[in-house]
Amino acid sequence: MPVGLCSPMKKLIPIFAILLGWAAAAWAAPPGTLTTLRAISSLSKVEASKGLPVTFEGTVTYYRGYEHQLFVQDGDLAVFVLATVDTKLVPGDRVLVKGTTRESFHAIAVSQDVTVLHHGALPSPIPANFGDLILGQHDCVLVKMRGVIRAADLVWSSQAPVRSATLQVLTDGGYIEAVLDSDNQKALNNLLDDEVEIIGAAGGEFDDKMQQTGIVLHVSTWANIKILKRANKNLWDLPVTPMHRIMGGYRVQDFTSRIRVQGVITYYQPGSAVVLQDGGRSLWIRTNADIPLRIGDLADATGFPEVLVTDLARSANDGFFTLTHSEIKDSGVQAPIAPLHVTWQQLAVSGDLGVGHHFDLVSIDAEVAVQERGGAQDEYTLVADGHTFSAIYRHPSGSLTEMKQFPLGSRVRVTGICTVHNSNPFGGPVPFDILLRSFDDIEVIKGPSLLNIRNLVLLVCLLLAIVAVVGGWGWKLENKVRRQTVALAALERRRSRILVDINGSRPLAEILEKIVGMVSSMLDGAPCWCELANGTTVGNCAREPHSLEIVRAKIDARSGPALGALLAAFRPEYRPVARRTEALADGVRLATLAIETRRLYSDLRHRSEFDLLTEMPNRFAMDKRLDLLLEEARQNSGIFGLIYIDLDEFKQVNDRYGHRIGDLYLQEVAVRMTRQLRGGDMLARLGGDEFAALVSVVHSRSDVEEAAHRLQRCFDAPFAVEDCSLHGAASIGIALYPEDGHTKDSLLSVADAAMYAVKNSKR
């Protein structure tokens, strides 16, 4: 009789095997290697920054390969992994991750190898609320939340040519953002104002000090979005609200709690703002207080927390902590804070290690390049480490103090509050300004070059023999340095204005004129022009190209054929090759951005006004044209006709021959009907098998009936669509302004009713 194991022992074998596997993995790891998520999660930021080795198991809850985002969870603990290796992963995969630790909001792992062990079930999502997530209590963990979809849009990824969905979700505590890996626009439109339950890996938006300013849920599939309650009505069935009455729909229910903070006053602008600093943390406080406050005093502030969004912020989460509706209480106790001495790189490049300095009291050494007097503020343009920034003094309300002047080229030490234009820590260098408390915050530490006019005059008195040579050389050198510094600042402003025009509504030709003008100024006035792929030429072409050296820089597109070329003409004696290469490259980058931005705008506008299948005007374009005709007819006592066309039995074409034949049939119908209308008339596809025609110049109803008859005759001959011969027909109804109605809706209703009467008579 064979010897066997009892049933309880059989159940224990898999458990022993798992324990042995874990033990083997731990023994195989080098000494000091972290092997559990709990060990990684318990690291401080200082410990994580040492790059400790890790080897741990976990379950994938979210993965986006082209952005190197990997969320791994084991039990109730999770960690973010910067996936530097390209591995095919899906949620539910059990993986073994090897790599090192890195400092971030919490300790994260940078993978060197990710191995799929097997596929299993996802961890059960943890119910979470806004208050827990905004404090990072469930960072990277799979959670579920309830809310109402306020916005749903498709956005392009910066790392790959794909689109994903971004949802703005209103929860009980505030707005969160959900990122969904899908490009289904129709499904997104159906979500608006729905109450949903969303399951995703919890993440956040951060400022440059790695302080969490927003909540992001990373959602893998549509299955993780459960609709709890549909919206009460179709959004596009809402009545049109006049623009001057839109505030009638504004409602706010704010449960934000008042809080109190304490710090040292480092900046005060009466009636506007106060900055408090406590160690390495600073806070911008909005207040209407116009009371005496002393810089350096310990003070309390009470108000309501909010995220301050700048003009350059990518989203509402790319902002800074602030207090609004605040009151300030000055203790009168001096506790001054010494400014932190920094470099340009430390202020502009913060990375993702939480070392930003926005709203901190800092000092920086720089050279004076430009001084500009303004009505509301005075601005110094300074140069540090080859980069420009501004030091700004805002005039107190009701007063205008005299601007403190410094010799250009002076080395100064500037002390004040650092204000950056965008807090996103992952976007690279960002512009910044220094807010001055008074003109005493600028201190000259070194005067301009000794080779100046005053010293040259003294030199004339001492060395008459060499005054002409030394004096002339010194004057020329000083002015050259000054011109170069001023030109650098002017070039930066010129480039900034071009970028503003690209993002605005300026015509493309005007923007390209500014670009070639900028390149020409960088090349000492050399003729520059732009030749576009469509044959258009913009700029100042060389008048005698045969006697000049023509340098051509191709304007490459991000995808597809080249967009054109940027050209410059030089005389044979022009030598600075490096400068012309740099200038043309700068111009090409701006031209590429301008052309592709305008192409995208034109494409979006075309899609909004034309039907993509037939390339005819769509309902939106027809509504605009109908509004214009109504306005003209009312002013001129004119008349016009509206024809409503519905194809008969079009559904049978799709059912019998398929949607491809149906689409081709619609295109042929559109071509035939268009040929029957005059140049000033308009034919639009309203959707599906419905069309409408606007007959703009008529004398009586018979003119409209004659146009309708021509359209009806389009269907006499069969339609040859590929190998099929289709016999089509249409039901047509007409309406005449003002006989059948004085408004757009009344005319459409009359024409639609007439069309349906014809269709019912056929049945």
Number of neighbours of residue 142 by Cβ within 10 angstroms: 26
- Is the predicted pLDDT of residue 10 greater than 50, yes or no? no
The two beta strands, 432-435 and 387-394, are parallel
Residues 6+ apart with CB under 8 A from 264: 276, 277, 278, 296, 297, 298, 299, 335, 336, 337
Residues 6+ apart with CB under 8 A from 319: 207, 213, 307, 308, 309, 310, 313, 423
Which residues on neighbouring strands pair with residue 227, listed in sequence order? 196
pLDDT for 103 equals: 86
DSSP reduced 3-state for 544: coil
The four Cα atoms 731, 732, 733, 736 give a dihedral, to 10 degrees, of 180
Domains and CATH numbers, the chain: 16-119 (2.40.50.140), 126-232 (2.40.50.140), 259-334 (2.40.50.140), 340-446 (2.40.50.140), 505-606 (3.30.450.40), 619-762 (3.30.70.270)
Structure-model confidence comparison of residues 685 and 6, the more confident one = 685
pLDDT for 544 equals: 67
- Is the predicted pLDDT of residue 659 greater than 60, yes or no? yes
Closest CA to 599 of 553, 564, 625, 552: 564
For residues 488 and 493, give the distance between their C-alpha atoms in angstroms, rounded to a whole number. Answer: 9
Query: In this predicted model, what pLDDT tens digit does every residue of 386-422 receive, in sequence order?
Result: 889 999 988 876 566 788 888 888 899 999 999 887 6
Highest mean pLDDT, choosing among 31-40, 149-158, 727-736: 727-736
DSSP reduced 3-state for 485: helix
CA dist 539 → 509, 545, 556, 587 (Å): 9, 15, 19, 12
For residues 139 and 144, give the distance between their C-alpha atoms in angstroms, rounded to a whole number. Answer: 13
pLDDT for 6 equals: 41
Least confident of 100-104, 110-114, 161-165, 712-716: 161-165
Q: How many residues does the chain have?
A: 763
Query: In this predicted model, what pLDDT tens digit does every residue of 612-651 receive, in sequence order?
Result: 888 899 999 899 999 999 999 999 889 999 999 999 988 8
Peptide bond into 738 cis (omega under 30): yes
DSSP reduced 3-state for 739: coil
For residues 368 and 380, give the distance between their C-alpha atoms in angstroms, rounded to a whole number. Answer: 7
Provide the H-helix boundaries in 504-576. 508-522
Mean pLDDT of 304-310: 75
Query: In this predicted model, what pLDDT tens digit does every residue of 363-390 receive, in sequence order?
Result: 999 999 888 887 788 889 999 988 899 9
- 3 state SS for 74-85: ECCEEEEEECCC
pLDDT for 457 equals: 79
Beta strands in 309-360 (DSSP E): 320-334, 340-341
For residues 152 and 168, give the distance between their C-alpha atoms in angstroms, rounded to a whole number. Answer: 6
Least confident of 303-317, 631-645, 693-707: 303-317
Confidence band of 127 (pLDDT split at 50, 70, 90): very high
Query: In this predicted model, what pLDDT tens digit does every residue of 54-98 receive, in sequence order?
Result: 999 999 999 988 888 999 999 999 999 998 877 889 999 999 999
Closest CA to 326 of 352, 354, 344, 301: 301
Structure-model confidence comparison of residues 285 and 458, the more confident one = 285
pLDDT for 563 equals: 85
pLDDT for 545 equals: 66
Query: In this predicted model, what pLDDT tens digit does every residue of 314-367 receive, in sequence order?
Result: 444 456 778 988 889 999 999 999 999 999 888 886 544 456 788 899 999 999
Provide the H-helix boundaries in 104-249. 130-134, 185-189
Query: pTM above 0.75?
Result: no
Confidence band of 253 (pLDDT split at 50, 70, 90): confident
